[in-house]
């Protein structure tokens, strides 16, 4: 007998029929003798619908009232799912975040979980009931309803699994696992049987949007085995877990992540003196613009070019700031380019294998793809290329690193 936390996303509970199908699915786990805690999202589209109504009434609704509003989406699905379970003769009780209670800080719309009291859930489980918990919401020290940020139900599920020391946290969604890369780009992309927390974080932050990033961080921190599965298709899904022993048979690369969400800014001809990086990036940081890759190179004439990437939505703002900086520093000019894409190879196997970067660059070169920026970490190599080459590059790398072949 295992204790399993299952999370069903918005599309999995998007209609009454689907909610009934989820109840049937849960009943099979109970028949196998497991204890089940279920976390649900709002029905698909519901959170957006609620936000839409709020913004029709007020341009800047207070975060407190937004949380009161959007938390209702999940309150609907916990009640309906509990009823569907009752209809099957299964004991079940719904819990809002505050009823668990899931205690958070007071940062409305982006609250962090501070503590979960697992006593009342445990009592229900011991009485043979299914515990159905509203995802995405909690309660702050003053008793206000809080929410955890969009996609937060994944984090609720992982946090409950950690608090209950569950055997597994299963995230049911509309894909059957984590893939080597986006199957819409590469036909031969393969579902991974397992991936490490670290790799998943890199895949997620590089644009594979299967799970809320925070939930993966949380799972890694508390070592909660996390499995991504399809809601209505049978299959093993992908297990996200700790790094196993170093295994030389293991593929060097686990996956390829990519994003079109970035833009590149270059400040040309800045003097090569101490403090330059700070003078350039200080004002950008103060404007709350996140910086990703940075490249600085000193030319033969002693002047340097300084290039970095930001989210595409921040490009215009960053450019304006840089134009001011350029004037102050006497730099030559500012270039901005949003027709770029970032492609990253991810794999813990890189730690024990040399030559991954050169193989990557060779593969891109043979396709005539120019590399504009490079950055590396222990388990990742990212490059910035022109956006028009993105699909070509991802396909070339996917076959160069034999990701289409099943792991041995
Ligand atoms: N319903 C919330 C959202 O759409 C939380 C979730 O689905 O995880 O963001
Ligand atoms: Mg989601």
Q: Which residues line ligand 1 (CB under 6 A)?
A: 10, 41-42, 47, 73, 135-136, 150-153
**Average confidence score pLDDT of the chain:** 93
- Token pair belonging to 103: 């205690």
- Is 39 inside any structural domain? yes
Average pLDDT of the segment spanning 264-293: 92
- Is 231 inside any structural domain? no
CA of 82 to the centre of ligand 2 (A): 21
pLDDT tens, residue by residue, 288-313:
999 999 998 877 777 889 999 999 99
3-state secondary structure of 266: strand
**Atom 6 of ligand 1, residue of closest alpha carbon:** 151
Counted domains in the chain: 1
Which tops the pLDDT comparison, 371 or 407?
A: 371
- Is 103 inside any structural domain? yes
pLDDT value at position 60? 95
> How big is the CA angle at 26 (ends 147 and 240), to the nearest 5 degrees?
65
pLDDT value at position 250? 67
Dihedrals φ, ψ of 225, to 5°?
A: -60, 125
- Is 334 inside any structural domain? no
CB atoms under 10 Å from CB of 34, counted, come to: 16
Q: Is the per-residue pLDDT at 53 higher than 70?
A: yes
Per mean pLDDT, which range of 100-104, 124-128, 302-306 is the poorest?
A: 302-306
> What distance in Å separates the CA atoms of residue 125 and residue 121, rounded to the nearest whole number?
6
- Is 128 inside any structural domain? yes
CATH number for the domain that contains residue 24: 3.40.1160.10
| pTM of the predicted model as reported, rounded to 2 decimal places | 0.87
Substitution candidate for ligand 1 out of 41, 50, 54, 209 with most atoms within 8 A of CB: 41
- Is 366 inside any structural domain? no
Average pLDDT of the segment spanning 123-145: 98
Q: Which domain holds residue 126?
A: 3-173
pLDDT value at position 301? 77
Band of pLDDT at residue 388, cut at 50, 70 and 90 = very high
- Is 351 inside any structural domain? no
> What distance in Å separates the CA atoms of residue 89 and residue 323, rounded to the nearest whole number?
67
- Is 107 inside any structural domain? yes
């Amino acid at each position: 007998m295992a204790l399993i936390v299952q999370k069903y996303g918005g599309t999995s509970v998007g209609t009454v029929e689907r909610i009934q199908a989820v109840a049937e699915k849960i009943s099979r786990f109970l028949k196998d003798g497991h204890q089940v805690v279920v976390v649900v999202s709002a029905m698909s589209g519901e959170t957006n619908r609620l936000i839409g109504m709020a913004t029709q009434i007020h341009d800047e609704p207070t975060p407190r009232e937004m949380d009161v509003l959007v938390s209702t989406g999940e309150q609907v699905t916990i009640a309906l799912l509990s009823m569907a379970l009752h209809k099957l003769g299964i004991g079940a009780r719904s819990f809002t975040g505050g009823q668990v209670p899931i205690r958070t800080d007071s940062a409305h719309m982006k609250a962090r979980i501070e503590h979960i009291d697992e006593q009342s859930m445990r009592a229900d489980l011991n009485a043979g009931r299914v515990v159905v918990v509203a995802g995405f919401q909690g309660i702050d020290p003053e008793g206000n309803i809080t929410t955890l940020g969009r996609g937060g139900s994944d984090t609720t599920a992982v946090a409950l699994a950690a608090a209950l020391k569950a055997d597994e946290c299963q995230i049911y969604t509309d894909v059957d696992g984590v893939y080597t890369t986006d199957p819409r780009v590469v036909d031969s992309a393969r579902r991974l049987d397992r991936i490490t927390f670290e790799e998943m974080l890199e895949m997620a932050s590089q644009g594979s949007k299967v799970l809320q990033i925070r939930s993966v961080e949380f799972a890694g921190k508390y070592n909660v085995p996390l499995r991504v599965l399809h809601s209505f298709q049978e299959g093993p899904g992908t297990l996200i877990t700790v790094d196993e022993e170093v295994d030389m048979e293991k593929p060097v690369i686990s996956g390829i992540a990519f994003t079109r969400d970035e833009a590149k800014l270059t400040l040309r001809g800045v003097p090569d003196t101490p403090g330059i990086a700070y003078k350039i990036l200080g004002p950008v940081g103060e404007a709350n613009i996140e910086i990703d890759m940075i490249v600085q190179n000193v030319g033969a004439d002693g002047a340097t070019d300084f290039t970095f990437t930001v989210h595409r939505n921040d490009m215009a703002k960053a450019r304006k700031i840089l134009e001011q900086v350029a004037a102050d520093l006497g730099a030559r000019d500012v270039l901005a380019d949003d027709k770029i894409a970032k492609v990253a190879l991810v794999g813990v196997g890189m730690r024990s294998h040399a030559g991954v970067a050169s193989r990557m660059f060779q593969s891109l070169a043979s396709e005539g793809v120019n590399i504009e920026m490079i950055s590396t970490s222990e388990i990742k190599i990212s490059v910035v290329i022109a956006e028009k080459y993105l699909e070509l590059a991802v396909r070339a790398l996917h076959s160069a690193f034999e990701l289409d072949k099943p792991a041995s």
